[in-house]
Amino acid sequence: MSLRIENLSVLYQDGDHAIQALEEVSLRLAGGRCLALVGESGSGKTTLGLACLGLLPRNALVRGTIRFRDRNLDFRDEASLNELRWSRLAMVFQHGSANLNPVHRIIDQVAEPLIQKKRLGRREALAKAADALAEMGLDFEHYKRYPHQLSGGQAQRALLAMGRILDPEVLILDEPTSALDAFNKGIVGDVIASAKTEKKAVLLITHDLEFAVHNSDDMAVLYLGQIMETLPSKDLLVRPLHPYTLALARSFPSMQTARDLGGIRGDAFYRTVHQHGRGDGDTYRHSHIQVPESIHANGHAPPTGCLFQNRCTQALDGCRHEPVILEKIDDHLVRCLRHGIADLAELRGVEKSYGAVVALHPTDLTLKCGEVFSLVGETGSGKTTLAMIQAGALNPDKGKRIFDGRDMEEWMRRDIRSLAGRIGVVYQNPAESVSHRFTVKEIVAEPLKIHQPSLGKEKIHERITRVLRDVHLSTDEAFLRRYAHELNMGAIQRVCMARALVLEPALLVADEPTSSLDPSVQAKVMKLLLELQIERGLTMLFVTHDIGLARKISDRIGIMLKGSLVELGPATKIISEPAHPYTRLLLDSACGIHSGSKLTKRERKESKGCPFVSRCPRVGEQCYRGTPVLKQGKDRHVACYSPLA
Amino acid sequence: MHISFRQNTLRDPWFIVGLGLAVIFAGITLFGPALTPFDPMDMSFAPISPPSADHMLGVNDGGQDIFSELLYAVRNTVTFGLWTALLGLVLGVVVGAIAGWSGGLVDLVLMRIADVILAVPSIMVLIFTAALFRPNPWILAVILAGLSWPTTSKAIRAQTLSLRQSLHIKAAARMGAGSTYILHRHLIPELYPLFIIGFAAKARMAMFTEASLAFLGLFDPGRKSLGMMISYALQFYYMDIWWNWLFPPILCLSLLIVSVTFLALGLEKVLDPRLRESIGGRAL
Amino acid sequence: MTSTLMHPFSKRRSQNRFGLVTAFCLTALAMVYLSHALPGFLPGDFVTAMYAGSYVTLSEEQEAELKAFYNTDETFGNYLLRLLRLDWGYSYAFLSPVSSLFFEALPWTLFLMGTAHLLSMGLGFVAGVEAAWRRNRFIERGLVGGLTVLEGVPEISTGVLLLLIFALHLGWFPAAGAETAYADFTLWGRVGDVVSHLVLPLTTLVAAYFPGNFLLARNSMMLVVTAPYVTTARAKGLPPRRVRYAHAARNALLPLVTRFGLRFAFMITGALVVERINAYPGLGTLLFNAIQARDLPVIQGVVLMSSLMVLAVILGLEVIYRMLDPRISY
Task: Evaluate whether B121 touches C265 at the Cβ level (below 8 Å).
Answer: yes
**Are the C-beta atoms of C258 and C318 separated by less than 8 Å?**
no
Closest CA to A307 of A224, A231, A378, A219: A224
* Chain B residues 220-249 with a CB less than 8 Å from chain C: 227, 230, 234, 237-238, 242, 246
Which runs of E-coded beta strand occur in A391-518?
Answer: 398-403, 406-407, 423-426, 507-511
Query: In this predicted model, which residue has the larger pLDDT, C270 or A170?
Result: A170
Q: What is the dihedral of CA A285, A290, A296, A302, to 10 degrees?
A: -40
Between chains, do A98 and C227 touch, taking CB under 8 Å as contact? Answer: yes
Selected residue with higher pLDDT from A196 and A610: A196
pLDDT, tens digit, for every residue of B219-272? 877 788 888 888 888 887 777 767 778 888 888 888 888 888 888 777 766 665
Strands (E), A421-535: 423-426, 507-511
CB contact under 8 A, C235 and A82: no
Helix residue ranges per DSSP H, A537-580: 547-553, 571-576
> Residues of C numbered 193-222 whose beta carbons fall under 8 angstroms of chain B's beta carbons: which are they?
219, 222
Distance (Å, whole) CA C100 – CA C292 = 19
Whether chain C has a CB inside 8 Å of the CB on A134: the answer is no
Give the whole-angstrom CA distance, residue A462 versus residue C200.
84
Give the residue, A302 or A356, on which the prediction is more confident: A356
CA distance C272 to C277: 9
Classify A574 as helix, strand or coil: helix
Contacts of A50 in chain B (CB under 8 A): 283
pLDDT digits (tens, 9 = 90+) for A89-108: 999 988 778 889 988 888 99
Among candidate residues A575, A582, A576, A571, the one with its CA nearest the CA of residue A630 = A582
pLDDT at B25 over 60: yes
Residue contact A148–C326, C-beta within 8 A? yes
CB-closest option in C31, C219, C292 to B275: C219
Q: Distance of alpha carbon B266 from its chain centroid, rounded?
A: 16
A117 in C contact zone (CB under 8 Å) = yes
Q: What stretch of H or E contains C253? A: helix C250-277
What number of C-beta contacts closer than 8 Å exist between A and C? 92
Instruction: Give strand pairing partners of A62.
Output: A10
A46 close contact with B: CB closer than 8 A: yes
For residue C116, which amino acid is it? A
pLDDT at A261: 67
Amino acid B130 reads A
Q: Does C19 touch chain B (CB under 8 A)?
A: no
Q: Is C231 on the interface with B (CB under 8 A)?
A: yes
Sequential DSSP letters for A346-396 = EEEEEEEEETTEEEEEEEEEEEETT-EEEEEE-TTSSHHHHHHHHHTSS--
Answer whether A98 sits within 8 Å of C229, measured CB to CB.
yes
The Cα A606–Cα A620 span in angstroms is 17
The CA distance from A238 to the nearest CA of chain B, in Å, is 29
Percent of chain B with pLDDT over 70: 89
CB contact under 8 A, B284 and A43: yes
Interface contact C47, partner B, CB < 8 A: no
A641 touching chain C per CB within 8 A = no
A46–B280 CB contact, under 8 Å: no
Query: How far, in Å, CA of C183 to CA of C168, rounded?
Result: 21
Q: Do β-strands A326-329 and A332-335 pair in parallel, antiparallel, or remain unpaired? A: antiparallel
Q: List CB contacts (< 8 A) between C9 and chain A.
A: none
Q: How far is B7 from chain C (nearest CA, A)?
A: 21
Q: In this prediction, what percent of chain A has a pLDDT beyond 70?
A: 89
Within chain C, residue ranges assigned H as helices are 2-6, 11-37, 46-52, 60-71, 76-84, 98-134, 137-138, 145-152, 155-162, 187-225, 228-235, 240-242, 250-277, 283-292, 296-324
* Residues of C with Cβ-Cβ distance to A133 under 8 angstroms: none
Sign of CA dihedral A494, A499, A503, A509: negative
Q: Is the alpha carbon torsion for A55, A56, A57, A63 positive or negative?
A: negative
pLDDT at C206: 92
User: Model's pTM, two decimal places?
Assistant: 0.73
Give the best residue of C55, C113, C162, C303 to mutate against chain B (max B CB count within 10 A): C303
Residue whose C-alpha is closest to residue A21's, from A9, A13, A33, A35: A9
pLDDT by 10s per residue, chain C, length 330: 444 454 444 555 565 666 677 778 878 888 888 777 777 666 655 566 566 655 666 677 766 666 666 655 567 777 777 778 777 777 777 778 888 888 888 988 999 988 999 999 899 999 888 888 877 677 677 787 788 888 888 888 888 888 888 887 787 887 777 777 767 777 778 888 888 888 888 999 999 889 888 888 888 888 888 888 998 999 998 888 888 898 988 888 888 888 787 778 778 888 888 988 888 888 888 888 888 777 777 888 888 888 888 888 888 888 888 888 877 654
Query: Which residues on adjacent β-strands are paired with residue A350?
Result: A363
Answer whether A86 touches C (CB < 8 Å): yes
Cα–Cα distance for residue pair C205/A87, rounded to 1 Å? 48
Across the interface, which of B217, B238, B258 has its CB nearest the CB of C292?
B217
Q: Is pLDDT at A84 greater than 70 in this prediction? A: yes
**CA nearest to B228 within chain C:** C156
Give the model's pLDDT for residue A267.
Answer: 63
Q: How confident is the model over A507-547, as pLDDT tens digits?
A: 999 998 888 788 788 888 888 888 888 888 889 999 999 88
**Predicted local confidence at residue C12, as pLDDT:** 54
Nearest to B253 among C156, C268, C300 (CB): C156
Shortest CA gap A541–chain C (Å): 49
Contact C226 B234 (CB under 8 A): no
Task: Give the model confidence (pLDDT) of B158-196 as tens digits.
Answer: 888 877 777 777 777 777 777 777 777 777 777 777 787
Q: Which residues of C touch B257 (CB under 8 A)?
A: 152-154
